[in-house]
Amino acid sequence: MEARPRTSVAGPAAPGRKKSPYPSWFYLPAAIVYAVLFLVPTVTSFYFSLTRWSIFDSQFIGFDNYVTFFREPALVSGLWHTVVYAVITSGLKVVLGLGLAVLLTSQIIGRGYLRSVVFFPVLVSTIGVGLTFTILMDPEEGLINESLSLIGIQGPGWLTDPSYALVSVALVDVWKGVGLATLIYIAGIVSIPQEYFEAARVDGATAWQNFRRIVLPLARPATFTVILLSLIGGLRSFDLIWAMTRGGPGFTSDVIASVIYKQYQAGFYGLSTAGNVVLFLLVTAIIFPLSRFLNSKEVDL
Amino acid sequence: MTRSRIALAVLSAATLALGACSAGSLGSSDDESGGGKVTLSFLTDNQPETVKMAEGLAKDFTAKNPDITINVETRPQGTEGDNIVKTRLSTGDMTDLFMYNSGSLMQALAPQKNLTALDDFAGQLDDNFKKSVGSDGKIYGVPFGNYMAGAILYNKDVYDKNGLKVPTTWDEFQANNAKLKAAGVDPVIQTYGETWTSQLFILGDYHNVEAANPGWADQYTKNQAKYATTPAAKAGFDHLQQVHDAGYVNKDFASAKLTDGLNKLAKGQGAQYPILSAMLSQLIADNPGTENKIGLFAIPGSDAAKNGLTVWAPNGLYIPSSTTGDKLEAAKKFAGFVASPDGCASMGKASQPSGPYAVTGCKLPDSVPQAVKDMQTYIDKQGASSLALEFLSPVKGPALEQICVEVGSGIRKADAAAKLYDEDVKKQAQQLGLEGW
């Protein structure tokens, strides 16, 4: 494959840009919506993170909120949990998504049906999934441990044992999200031109070689999309964790988002605003370079 | 064609979403149909006994005042409920009446700004309750429910069978636990499936703290006393750790819920359950015939002579400042009904009363459950009961329940937990703008 010049991917070339045929006030409605709903809140939140506020008044206290936030003992573990959670979910979604996609693009019986079955959990409400699995994972009466005990295994307290709680939630997240990853992969694999496979067949390639040399490299854009989406999702994940463990037992499955939520609940509005600014910067700091890196890779196939 | 269909779908999804948002504010915007009829909305927590009481009050009140209808709405308990109450209050979206804790949690609502003063009813109320809903010399609530104790409920049958006596010191308590464990009963029930239930060994121990260090609450509010550095205060965390380390708790402590705990106690699978005495109503409602099988004793401390009961003031019924006009008049009328012997009778009819009333002229019926009699014994004895810390100091950290779960599950040691809680409390004090923090 010849390397394509980068500009061809980057869209219409910048130099000598023609004047837009539309008058600039055409942008106004969109600009207003964007400013009111996104720009203004973002900027004010930076200000309010420097205050101690209730809905009625605010008192400027400089960077005290940030100091308190970073001293929060739950934060350090929360940061670590967030990263662990994001990496586990993102990694498993890539591996399982690719596997399922390869399976579901092959000639198997009931392919359409199986595809929808895999995608189905994505459509279900996260809170519903969380509550259901909380019941299934109950250490004493849950279906999972009761089934395990039938074959003589004493199952752990999935959500109540501090060393398993976070991983259990991550696994449920994977179950729920792998359908989307599979869908993206299926799209990626289907769009690989058949010629490659025909050529490979002529050369006598095995199924493994097909996968390793054709599917894997050519599905790379899909991989990048899956990694990016699931990593962003994992870093800011909150609803599933809240529905299943509320960060517990104790603080053992607290992620940054749930730490912030609890501060908000407690009425520490300034502190939780500061937390959100930190979360915003953190997600940007991880995702922005990663997306630049992955995009640059995409070009030189 | 397809595009317009997609647009339609998006549009209808958006309207659905908007509709869902405004569903939360139902009730407060009920239109006042003419003819002087008023409909009030009333928010309570979703504990079954609370709901029964609220609905009983609403029904009996409407029977007397046919022009006023009251719709009961519910919210979750615990921190989630705090959040809903605070958010709805600060956005002016609160129901016409609402039930909420008294004491430090009520102080955190900024009562001067958000609540309507109810001084008209002050004459009918007991002093301790007035203190716990008062701010700047005004009172903002009337009592919803009864006084309750943070204490240990125990199964008398199990105690009798094993020949045990009610303990007055922690050592006696631990000795009882050892015997109970040997007899194959879970000595102490813990239910971390509902995290708030984990705090009783600390919060219910406050009488013992106060007895050992008179005036501790004031020093605590002024940032002069700490949990980690006051041995009597830290004892609560120590106790929680000891009970876990000795294996005295039920096996499913990490996932069991309040209801499970109450049923275990009623059935005698567990012997003792540190919990709020108000939960007695639910226990009796779910397990008929247990009225006299369940007793109550104060959380034991180090000194038998000073041992006593930690008492919680009843929850309050409040009127937010967003309620005005006819609705305010009607709401005040309802508050007056709740703060009268008729109101007490109505609540007592709906749910088994589990402690003394805070309204003058309200009497407990003669046939109260054994645990309530036990509680009354402490209250009648001079110096054997004190209000819980949350009624004496506005400082209460929001993470106490999680910290207690950690100690009670063996994740964190008592020393570290007491230090961590002192840090947690600091944020609350700063947010409230207290001096010395």
The nearest alpha carbon in chain B to A140 belongs to B252
The nearest alpha carbon in chain B to A135 belongs to B255
pLDDT the model gives residue B1:
40
Mutate to test the interface with A, among B321, B396, B404, B409 (most CBs of A within 10 A): B409
Do the Cβ atoms of A248 and B423 come within 8 Å? no
**Which residue in A250, A263, A267 is closest to B402 by CB distance?**
A250
| pLDDT tens digits, one per residue of B105-119 | 888 888 888 999 999
Compute the nearest-CA separation of A68 from chain B (Å): 8
Hey, is the C-beta of B228 within 8 angstroms of any chain A C-beta?
no
With 0-12 / 13-18 / 19 or more C-beta atoms within 10 angstroms meaning exposed / middle / buried, residue A189 is buried
Do the Cβ atoms of A267 and B108 come within 8 Å? yes
Residues A131, A139: Cα–Cα separation, whole Å:
14
Positions of chain A with pLDDT lower than 70, given as ranges? 1-18, 55-56, 298-301
pLDDT the model gives residue A16:
53
The nearest alpha carbon in chain A to B252 belongs to A140
pLDDT the model gives residue B118:
93
Backbone angles phi, psi at B98, to 5 degrees: -150, 155
Give chain A positions within 8 Å (CB) of B251.
140
What percentage of chain B carries pLDDT values higher than 90?
58
| pLDDT tens digits, one per residue of B292-348 | 899 999 999 998 898 999 999 999 999 999 999 999 999 999 999 999 999 999 998
Residue span of the structural domain in which A244 resides: 81-274
| pLDDT tens digits, one per residue of A136-147 | 998 888 899 889
**Which residue in B192, B428, B430 is closest to A249 by CB distance?**
B192
Do the Cβ atoms of B431 and A267 come within 8 Å? yes
Do the Cβ atoms of B406 and A54 come within 8 Å? no
Do the Cβ atoms of A160 and B255 come within 8 Å? yes
Hey, is the C-beta of B78 within 8 angstroms of any chain A C-beta?
no
pLDDT the model gives residue B174:
94
Compute the nearest-CA separation of B369 from chain A (Å): 32
Average pLDDT over residues B211-216: 91
Give, in degrees to the nearest 5, the angle at Cα B262 between B181 and B375. 90
The nearest alpha carbon in chain B to A247 belongs to B402
Do the Cβ atoms of B399 and A139 come within 8 Å? no
Q: Which residue has the tokens 């088994």?
A: B352
**Which residue in A52, A71, A252 is closest to B411 by CB distance?**
A252
Give chain A positions within 8 Å (CB) of B109.
none
- The answer for B 111-140 residues in CB contact with A (under 8 A) is 113
Compute the nearest-CA separation of A150 from chain B (Å): 19
Residue pair B353/B361 in contact (Cβ under 8 Å)? The answer is no
- The answer for B 195-224 residues in CB contact with A (under 8 A) is 195
Do the Cβ atoms of A157 and B399 come within 8 Å? no
**Which residue in A55, A157, A268 is closest to B431 by CB distance?**
A268
Mutate to test the interface with A, among B402, B403, B424 (most CBs of A within 10 A): B402
The 3 state secondary structure assigned to A210-246 is HHHHHHHHHCHHHHHHHHHHHHHHHHCCCHHHHHHCC
- Could you tell me the two tokens for A280? 């915003």
Does a structural domain hold residue A101?
yes
Give whole-number Cα distances, B333 to A35, B29, B112, B327, in Å.
47, 20, 21, 10
The sign of the dihedral angle between the CA atoms of A76, A81, A82, A87 is positive
User: pLDDT band for position B35 (50/70/90)?
Assistant: low
Hey, is the C-beta of B398 within 8 angstroms of any chain A C-beta?
yes
Compute the nearest-CA separation of B44 from chain A (Å): 18
**Which residue in B255, B409, B427 is closest to A268 by CB distance?**
B427
Hey, is the C-beta of B77 within 8 angstroms of any chain A C-beta?
no
| pLDDT tens digits, one per residue of A164-177 | 999 999 999 999 99
Of the listed ranges B182-191, B211-220, B377-386, the least confidently predicted one is: B377-386
Do the Cβ atoms of B192 and A68 come within 8 Å? no
pLDDT the model gives residue B61:
94
pLDDT the model gives residue A184:
94
Q: What are the residues whose beta carbons fall under 8 Å from the beta carbon of B15, sequence distance 6 or more? A: none
Residues B270, B180: Cα–Cα separation, whole Å:
9
Residues B36, A182: Cα–Cα separation, whole Å:
62
Give whole-number Cα distances, A252 to A47, A74, A266, in Å.
31, 9, 19
Out of 3.40.50.1370, 3.40.190.10, 3.40.1260.10, 2.40.50.90, select the CATH number for domain B28-145+315-350: 3.40.190.10
The nearest alpha carbon in chain B to A56 belongs to B90
Compute the nearest-CA separation of A250 from chain B (Å): 4
Out of 3.10.20.30, 3.30.565.10, 3.40.190.10, 3.30.70.250, select the CATH number for domain B148-312+369-432: 3.40.190.10
The nearest alpha carbon in chain A to B403 belongs to A250
Mutate to test the interface with B, among A64, A69, A140 (most CBs of B within 10 A): A140
Give chain B positions within 8 Å (CB) of A265.
79-80, 82-83, 398
Do the Cβ atoms of B402 and A139 come within 8 Å? no
- Could you tell me the two tokens for A288? 């922005």
**Which of B302, B294, B252 lies closest to B272 in space, CA to CA?**
B294
Q: How many structural domains are present in chain A?
A: 1
Mutate to test the interface with A, among B412, B428, B430 (most CBs of A within 10 A): B430
pLDDT the model gives residue B330:
93
Residue A239 belongs to domain with CATH number: 1.10.3720.10
Query: Where do the CATH 3.40.190.10 domains begin and end in chain B?
Result: 28-145+315-350, 148-312+369-432
Hey, is the C-beta of B65 within 8 angstroms of any chain A C-beta?
no
For chain B, give the mean pLDDT.
87
Res. B19: pLDDT tops 70: no
| pLDDT tens digits, one per residue of B336-395 | 999 999 999 999 889 888 888 889 888 888 788 899 989 988 888 888 888 999 888 888
Computed over its alpha carbons, how large is the radius of gyration of chain B?
23
Backbone angles phi, psi at A261, to 5 degrees: -60, -40
**Which residue in A250, A264, A271 is closest to B406 by CB distance?**
A250
Q: How many of the other CB atoms lie within 10 Å of CB of B419?
A: 18
Mutate to test the interface with B, among A75, A244, A251 (most CBs of B within 10 A): A251
Does a structural domain hold residue A95?
yes
**Nearest-10 crossing angle of helices A165-190, A126-136:** 130
